[in-house]
Structure 1
């Protein structure tokens, strides 16, 4: 990829001369789709990003929201899609490292990760190869740096065969006095590079991420993939803590896309300032690097800090303590020019804001997606149940999340396997005089919600998207994604506070692809707005096309919520209660796993217009002492939800009006096991429909009846159906 002719003409017009080689490469990367959002930025104004809880919104390395009196949380998400296809281990690992450094740059300590992964058909050997490498990369990096991976999602769809998606979210915690931003503060301050030495790995990563994947990408594009060192990242985390504690940092930015050139130019441009950088001063691990390589290498585990001149030596001492490289590379200036010198020559001299923000936006045509027709044949109940429950999209993801350390840090109160994760906010518990215990449970499939914990405030996290939904109808599927994540939080008793999105699409130059992408933006924005959840940041990844075609438009959403306590009811049945389905019902099958398995088409189900009220009511009911289990209805529909609640000691006898009712994936619904069904009905009166499904018992068997069909399965049979992924991967 080279600087487009129209862009070159724009640069020449601004500079009054031809760009140098280093300038041309810098503009090419910073003006790429990956960095400049040239095709997506015109659409992103659809999102609402403000609320009384939002401290820092979109535009910084991570968003910041208030989650308690005197406590902030940082929240961010990023993609590492192309690198994870070329090199699944390093691509996924460095995706984790990058989002963690975004957290550090705000002055926060990272406390939780969530990964959302999308692969081609599970039956394909190549998809399983990518799955294995990506999960290994995430676990290797996250476990080594001591940040728990507590949630996420894993989905399989033919549209990802040539272009998997790896989206990673991170949550950090800080107090208000520790907050820093990526906005340079004052001329005369120094720019100090701390962390690993700079090599040639990851060169051109930003421009690589803005191209379709070619057939030979796994070999030809490998140099564009960064190589991570989690042990250096762990030292950087601790060094960052010490630098923030000592008040040595004026502003900060992590080195991600476009490397040093991207981080430093964006830092000073955001402050309407400039800088002068000596590229020879950058500590390097490879001899003979030229100016362009030093500027654009995406070597990992590096941060650039703005530091007062009198504090540079103190920063050096902290870096040396943690065995990290440290270079005083330049000075913040007040003239707005971004200037880089190398070997005695000026190799870059351009207005910082023009470099960072001057890329022209694209005005692309789009074709509106069509609504699918209703055309399908239903299988028998037993065939439908056994096939859908065993599908990799609805089967147990234990093989994935058991490779992640989700307990490190002693915060995880509700573990992976439930609708949402819950982290204990020790800081707020300590402030209230409480004590916090850690959990010892094993997740939903053991019927354990995480062990006994003290009644302390919590932070809940849910993340994911369903490609079947948005492939069916992009707008409705994206709207449903917002509702689904909010419902997951409500199921663990949390109130949604904020969301970040990772918007993944194909080549925007194709009108139908861009139309689908525009529809997921609008659907997600409208859904979050109707839920009163601000979208405070995110990431856009386009050009996810390959020889296999474009990916389904994929609006990964991560949503953060707060809880009064951390003792959520869990989804495993207690075995002695009434089962209620709450939420407005719709038997439409569009986007369902049933149709994905058996063929046919249908429109996507309607979403309740008062989904926000449903979510709020569900969150309140989940905290009642009479509520013994809550589980949302999503992938696979009611049938899969019920299957996931059965244990060896608890079963249920359920009647449903039709097969469609069991397998529709209409969002905003949940199954509640309660000893006070009339109380639940009263709570939802005027809010949503409540349907009595039947009763739970001690049988360990799920019995389903629809019309004249009945199917029954004991716990052991259901577990066997759901072990699809583990059976193939172990």
Structure 2
């Protein structure tokens, strides 16, 4: 055999394009040290994508490792697989487990909005599938620039169509997410995608290549030139004013092939034909081969000639770097290969044996009779560079926090309060999002219990027992800018609270940490503080981090995005028929506010929309209070059946919660607030939920609240066709705004902008 590796050894001084592939000089030197020679071009390609920021977490892993300090088995539940696997897996009882994860596809979605978003959904679905689970639902936390910006008009429709088009074709309900607008996301939208899967305990599969002689099978779509170096290069580059610094082709998705791949893979699992499996996402074959080998017996041989190609002109480097979608790699015992291939043929899925597990301790890849790769697999997959990047609290942070919103001019009269409410409900972040969510199928498969615009999404897992799971994603980037430690905790607290409002018990966390350039010490400080805050909050709330994603270099020129640590919380509910709706549907119910309201306006939607202001400190974090509130919501909801509805208070405060609850079924409410109506209506203090109960159950709810140490105040009652707000002891209401007027403003914003 001709040996390209031997040629590399004999020709040590040949210049190689390591810098063009995104490697640093010291990284290239380290590769040469590991190999004891210069790398071949194929090896250089593999190291470049696997040591990229997206795949190696080289700037973030020193901070991420603290999540391992959180106990994996808590009072809420047990983790069956966690950080380091394709996705975390949790025991939810009755022999069932769920797996969930949230990841980013930010930069590809800026370059090519439809395909970037679509393949983001496809990739996270395959991560869930690789754990042995059937994917059952998706969610999409999104961030865009200003709604009226031309580039937002370019990216938003394509991204939404990509998320909806791919998920709808797969037959997966989209049960939640967010759409947030801020000028810092202009030129750098965030497309985070989450998937939930369900499996029996015995169906759990892990990504490892074990068993010498076992066969390595590549199956799914053919490998093409799309996405060569794709996300692994894009995720390590900032965007300039003129667009991405590098434009590798964005992956092209085929959801119909993915649907075949899902059903084919699930049948293969059911037949017990797989000893290890991995999806092909970022870094493609480079990732799948090296990660499977390093997590197994440590050796693998691959014949690259056997890889089915859509483009016969691809060089071996390009085949190894291609991020073509809808591909999986399985490790199969020799006696099971025929049965494996037969199932693939049944589903019209291409499948080819491309290699085998060895005891060499090396990943060895041949192409046209030459050995083009001979490396220790762990050095590619797990032993990449670790950066201890400098980080420091920025010199502008103190001034930012000193500029509190409490000093801003505020409305005083009833008419001014009403106009403020109407202005806020029509603002991009608080307005109706159905222009987006109506493009998603929320109820396909028939197991969706809650979906947008509910506080959380909920899916029935077992049709006989009605066991279910609930998921919510949240993050307020303005809060994280003001205080990244508290901002990450507030993101967790809101998602935790949203899961609890439906009556579920929060179990675990997945996160997608979106930040600017790690080469900026201020950004790295934000990242470090957010990780520390999230870890501390998870410890206090008793919820482990099961895994997640880091997305860095999210900035345009010198402008970094708001630090956006998106947190997803998954919870379990024993009987979905006892869930608590997010909005009231009947008249004559008592409206009760749970939790304390403080004068906390910094970082609020009011400050943002009315004054264009960002400064001060975010709302105070009270994790003990959040835990007590969640326990109360479960006790009063599924436990006692007292609650007719429960809606958390967050962006926009009490005013927004009243609007959203009233508009859902066009049933209004009349409430009375304290002697500072503005603070009562627009403060964004956390740890608060607006609930309704039958008047006969008010005392029982108040007693339960007292037992749990949660403040509770009866505000009024539901009914009528207006939102009516009065001040304590005032003879006349401050305002009485018809629901039809509120709805017309609330619903008009995005359709008008997109027209």
Q: TM-score scaled by structure 1?
A: 0.93
Shift of residue 152 of structure 1?
0.9
The 8 Å contact of residues 482 and 524 in structure 1, kept in 2 or not, is answered as yes
Query: In structure 2, how many angstroms separate the alpha carbons of the residues matched to 1:424 and 1:342?
Result: 48
Q: Does the CA-based 8 Å contact 2:184-2:559 persist in structure 1? A: yes
Give aligned pairs, total.
703
Match of 2:493 in 1: 483
Q: 2: CA distance between counterparts of 1:655 and 1:382?
A: 14
Deviation at 1:714, TM superposition (A): 1.5
Give the match's secondary structure for 1:716: helix
Whether 1:579 and 2:591 are equivalent positions in the alignment is: yes
How does 1:718-729 map onto structure 2 within 5 Å? 718-723=742-747, 724-729=749-754
> Secondary structure of 2:219's match?
strand
1:71 lines up with 2:96 in the alignment:
yes
Deviation at 1:634, TM superposition (A): 0.8
Shift of 1:221: 4.6
Match of 1:629 in 2: 645
CA contact (8 A) 2:234 2:247 kept: no
For 2:54 and 2:227, locate their aligned partners in 1 and report how far apart those are by CA, in whole Å: 14
Contact 1:367/1:512 (8 A) holds in 2 = yes
Alignment correspondent of 2:632:
617
- The answer to whether the aligner puts 1:183 opposite 2:218 as a matched pair is no
Q: Determine which of 374, 387, 390 is the counterpart of 2:426.
A: 390
Distance 1:706 1:288 in 2: 75
1:49-96 Cα offsets, whole Å, 9 max, x none, are 501420001111111111122111111111100000000100000000
- State which drifts further: 179-188 or 365-374: 365-374
For residues 408 and 156 of structure 1, the distance between their equivalents in structure 2, rounded to whole angstroms, comes to 29
| Aligned match for 2:237, one of 211, 219, 224 | 211
Q: Which residue of 1 aligns with 2:72?
A: 50
1-structure distance, mates of 2:492, 2:188: 24
Does 2:33 correspond to 1:13? yes
Number of the residue aligned with 1:437: none
In structure 2, C-alpha distance between the alignment counterparts of 1:717 and 1:690, rounded to whole Å: 33
Cα distance, 1:472 vs structure 2: 2.4
The verdict on how the C-alpha distance between 1:325 and 1:607 changes in structure 2, with shifts beyond 3 A counting, is same
Provide the residue aligned with 2:711 in structure 1: 690
- 2:5 corresponds to: none
Pairs within 5 Å for 1:272-671: 272-368=297-393, 370=397, 372-373=401-402, 374=404, 375-379=407-411, 380-426=416-462, 429-430=463-464, 432=465, 456-547=466-557, 549-567=559-577, 568-573=579-584, 574-599=586-611, 600=613, 601-610=615-624, 611-623=626-638, 624-646=640-662, 647-658=665-676, 659-671=678-690
Say if 1:705 and 1:691 are closer, same or farther in 2 by CA, change over 3 A.
farther
Q: Secondary structure at the match of 2:454?
A: coil
- The CA deviation at 1:272 is 4.4
Q: Which moved more, 1:518-527 or 1:55-64?
A: 518-527
**Contact residue 524 and residue 555 of structure 1 kept, 8 A:** no
Partner Cα distance (2:117, 2:62) in 1: 29
Aligned residue for 2:86, secondary structure, equals coil
| 8 Å contact from structure 1 (residues 157, 467) kept in 2 | no
For residues 281 and 422 of structure 2, what CA distance do their matches in structure 1 show? 45
1:60 counterpart = 2:85: yes
Are the counterparts in 2 of residues 615 and 668 from structure 1 also a CA contact under 8 Å?
no
Tell me the SS of whatever aligns to 2:609: helix
- Within 2, Cα distance between the matches of 1:231 and 1:49? 40
Decide whether the 8 Å contact of 1:648 with 1:715 is kept in 2.
yes
Specify whether residues 174 and 609 from structure 1 end up closer, same or farther in structure 2 by C-alpha distance, changes over 3 A only: closer
Tell me the TM-score normalised to structure 2 length: 0.90
Taking the aligned partners of 1:514 and 1:201, their CA distance within structure 2 comes to: 32
SS in 2 for 1:354: helix
Contact 2:148 2:753 in 1 (8 A): no
CA shift for structure 1 position 177: 1.9
Q: 1:706 & 1:604 partners in 2: Cα distance?
A: 26
Partners in 2 of 1:163 and 1:72 — Cα distance?
A: 36
Give the 3-state SS of the residue equivalent to 1:17 in structure 2. Answer: coil
- The whole-number CA distance in structure 2 between the counterparts of 1:5 and 1:46 is 29
Query: Which residue in the other structure is 1:116 paired with?
Result: 141
For 2:338, what is the secondary structure of its paired residue? helix
Question: How many Å apart are 1:237 and its aligned residue?
Answer: 0.5
SS at match of 1:685: helix
CA distance in 2, matches of 1:564, 1:725: 38
Retained in 2: the 8 A contact 1:112–1:170? yes
Structure 2: distance between partners of 1:23 and 1:233:
29
1:446 is matched with none
Aligned to 1:435: none
Is there any run of 5+ residues in structure 1 with no aligned partner, and where?
Answer: 433-455
Once residues 140 and 80 of structure 1 are traced to their aligned partners in structure 2, the CA distance between those partners, rounded to angstroms, is 16
Aligned equivalents of 2:607, 2:588: Cα separation in 1: 34
